[in-house]
Structure 1
Amino acid sequence: MRIVYAGSPAAAVPSLRALLAGPHEVVAIVTREDSPQGRKRVLTPTPVADLAADAGVPVVKANRLGPVTDELLALRPDLGVVVAYGGLIREPLLSGPRLGWINLHFSLLPRWRGAAPVQRAVMAGDRETGAAVFQLVPELDAGPVFGVQRRPIGARETAGHLLEAQAEEGAELLVDVVDRLASGTTTAVAQEGEVTLAPKLTIDDARIVWARPADSVDAQIRGVTPEPGAFTELDGDRLKILDAVLARGMAPLPPGRLELRAGRLLAGTEGEPIELVLVQPAGRRPMAAADWWRGRPADAPAQAS
């Protein structure tokens, strides 16, 4: 088949790599425009654009697909494939390819429809997640499903770790669905179950709410790691929490109270405390939490908010 592929971040790279290695022809790759990255705000191509350049496949850089619709339809694609592109696909492009568009989504649809399914699953304390390949329809992530892959969420997995694993596993599922579409041996099944939404994370999602139970605080920290990154405020300065773990069996502390015990820096929650393992104070490099605490003045505030 002739395929148009749309994707942007690192999570979309394994699927593109797998398609490029297969029997189908990727006639164009659509990705978002170069964007400023890092402290120096250097214009940087997306990870998908980098792979496309290496593969020698034509690249269309566009943050909106409307202006490039005619260009893509002129390629006469049999199928459109989208993985974390970051933009909506509307008519007439949506129904332009002979088989329409399919989407690899990193959740067990209809649970966690939206932009941040992996993060929201971790933050909600889900024990299981997965990936689904479905037919794209005008309604958000609502099309019938061709295939699903399930996996447990580890007790220490962050959203970043989970997404990296799902990107690799989901690529295998996607290629299988594409091959079955090519041979006419697959049928999509309507989504069933309760619909939950996974809106894009904001900075408010990353601010730790210490007055919650420890399990909920732990899930929040893991769900926003690495982006946008969990943080709290201490004496008006932002402290990033890069790694933390439940401190099982430790005596409780008031929510947000920090205390060093037996060489471990603990933070109070509604129940048992959380151990802060790796932190990044404002304007400084990441460091062991206990070392950072020992370096503070003895009379420094110990209440985070």
Structure 2
Amino acid sequence: MRIVFAGTPGFAVQVLDALVAAPGMELVGVVSQPDRRAGRGMRLTPSPVKVRATELGLDCITPSSLRTDAQALDWLRARRPDFLVVVAFGMLLPKPWLDSPRIAPINVHASLLPRWRGAAPIERAMLAGDERTGVSIMHMDEGLDTGPVYASRALAISAEMTGSELWDRLARMGGELLVETLPRIASGLAPQPQPEVGACYAPKVRNEERCIRWEEPAWLVDRRVRCFAPRPGARCRLEGRWLKVLAGKVVDIPDKAVPGSVLRADSSLVVACGKGGAYAIERVQPEGKKAMSVADFLRGYAVRPGQLLA
């Protein structure tokens, strides 16, 4: 089977690797987003998928627009793909692209559709407290993750799981399910329409959603920290500077205190939360510094009981 792959972040790299390793799958081209400025020096940086495609010796293009770049569409058609596989690409595909593969345009989506259609299904599932999520193999249409589904597979979200761990497990699962499903599609497997009952959308995460809200119960603080750990990291302000909180746990305290106030700052950093709970911070990353244990942080930063985190 001839496959053109379209994807951008690290999640898509794991699916690309699964296709490359699978017998009978011929990767004839890769599409990714253009290089972006990133890092402290704001240097032009290729996407993880472009980096991996280059390592594998695959032809990779990075059009800035699929609607206006006629050369990119010609490039796609010249490869005569059986499947166009799209994973976290970051652009909606216009109809000429969807019509180009001989068999089908396929999307690997990191949710159990129709729940969490859109850009941030993993983060939305965690922030909502979902007990399970999964991956779906979908036939793409012109809507936003609205096409019929060929196959799906569920995964439980444990109480200790971080967003990074869930991301990795879903990426591996997506690659495995895709490799299993493509031959079945080529043999005539028909997709099933998505029900509208239970449909909801997963918009991109806004920067303010990473901010810890100490007035929330401790279990909600823990959920936010786990969702964004270790990157990009939940965060709060200490003495006017950002402090990323990368790990911690819910603890009981005997008395209520002002949410955000430091209760202990010796070998641990315990912060009061809403409704009488508290959160023990275990790992942090100060602004402009590397990640470190809270014990190392407290050796270098003067934090005292009663101080407020915002």
Q: TM-score, normalised by structure 2?
A: 0.91
Q: Which amino acid aligns with 1:270?
A: G
C-alpha distance in structure 2 between counterparts of 1:103 and 1:207, whole Å: 32
Q: Which amino acid aligns with 1:27?
A: V
| 1:191 positional shift | 1.5
C-alpha distance in structure 2 between counterparts of 1:145 and 1:203, whole Å: 32
Which residue of 188, 193, 202 maps to 1:190? 193
Asked whether the 8 Å contact 2:114–2:198 carries over to 1, the reply is: yes
Tell whether 2:66 aligns with 1:65.
yes
Aligned to 1:74: 78
Moved more, 29-38 or 203-212: 29-38
Aligned to 2:11: 11
Q: Which amino acid aligns with 2:74?
A: D
C-alpha distance in structure 2 between counterparts of 1:13 and 1:81, whole Å: 12
Within a 5 Å distance, the mapping from 1:20-99 to structure 2 comes to: 20-21=20-21, 22-66=23-67, 67=69, 68-99=72-103
| 1:304 positional shift | 1.2
List, as ranges, runs of 4+ consecutive aligned residues in structure 1 with deviation greater than 6 Å. 298-301
| 1:178 positional shift | 0.9
Q: TM-score, normalised by structure 1?
A: 0.92
Q: What SS is found at the alignment partner of 2:73?
A: helix
| 1:87 positional shift | 1.1
The 1:295/1:78 distance shift into structure 2, 3 A limit, reads closer
The 1:203/1:183 distance shift into structure 2, 3 A limit, reads same
Aligned to 1:288: 293
| 1:64 positional shift | 2.5
Aligned to 1:279: 284
> 1:71-94 CA distances to partner (integer Å, 9 max, x unpaired)?
212322221100111111011111
Asked whether the 8 Å contact 2:211–2:234 carries over to 1, the reply is: yes
Q: What SS is found at the alignment partner of 1:243?
A: strand
The 1:175/1:250 distance shift into structure 2, 3 A limit, reads farther
| 1:38 positional shift | 2.4
Within a 5 Å distance, the mapping from 1:181-260 to structure 2 comes to: 181-184=185-188, 186-192=189-195, 193-248=197-252, 251-260=255-264
The 1:261/1:189 distance shift into structure 2, 3 A limit, reads same
C-alpha distance in structure 2 between counterparts of 1:56 and 1:222, whole Å: 36
Residue-pair matches, total: 304
C-alpha distance in structure 2 between counterparts of 1:250 and 1:128, whole Å: 33
Moved more, 73-82 or 40-49: 40-49
Aligned to 2:137: 133
Asked whether the 8 Å contact 1:31–1:63 carries over to 2, the reply is: no
Q: Which amino acid aligns with 1:191?
A: Q
| 1:251 positional shift | 5.0
Tell whether 2:2 aligns with 1:2.
yes
Q: Which amino acid aligns with 2:289?
A: R
C-alpha distance in structure 2 between counterparts of 1:74 and 1:287, whole Å: 51
Asked whether the 8 Å contact 1:234–1:301 carries over to 2, the reply is: no
The 1:299/1:276 distance shift into structure 2, 3 A limit, reads closer
> 1:204-227 CA distances to partner (integer Å, 9 max, x unpaired)?
111111111122111111112234
Q: Which consecutive residues of structure 2, in runs of 5 or more, have no partner in the other structure?
A: none
Asked whether the 8 Å contact 1:15–1:175 carries over to 2, the reply is: no
> 1:46-83 CA distances to partner (integer Å, 9 max, x unpaired)?
22222222322211122322311222123222211001
The 1:5/1:107 distance shift into structure 2, 3 A limit, reads same
Asked whether the 8 Å contact 1:107–1:130 carries over to 2, the reply is: yes
Tell whether 2:112 aligns with 1:108.
yes
Moved more, 290-299 or 172-181: 290-299
| 1:99 positional shift | 2.3
Aligned to 1:172: 176
Q: What SS is found at the alignment partner of 2:221?
A: helix
Q: Which consecutive residues of structure 1, in runs of 5 or more, have no partner in the other structure?
A: none
| 1:299 positional shift | 6.3
C-alpha distance in structure 1 between counterparts of 2:254 and 2:184, whole Å: 53
Q: What SS is found at the alignment partner of 2:126?
A: helix
Moved more, 226-235 or 246-255: 246-255
Q: Which amino acid aligns with 1:20?
A: V
> 1:12-65 CA distances to partner (integer Å, 9 max, x unpaired)?
112111212230222111011222332233333222222222322211122322
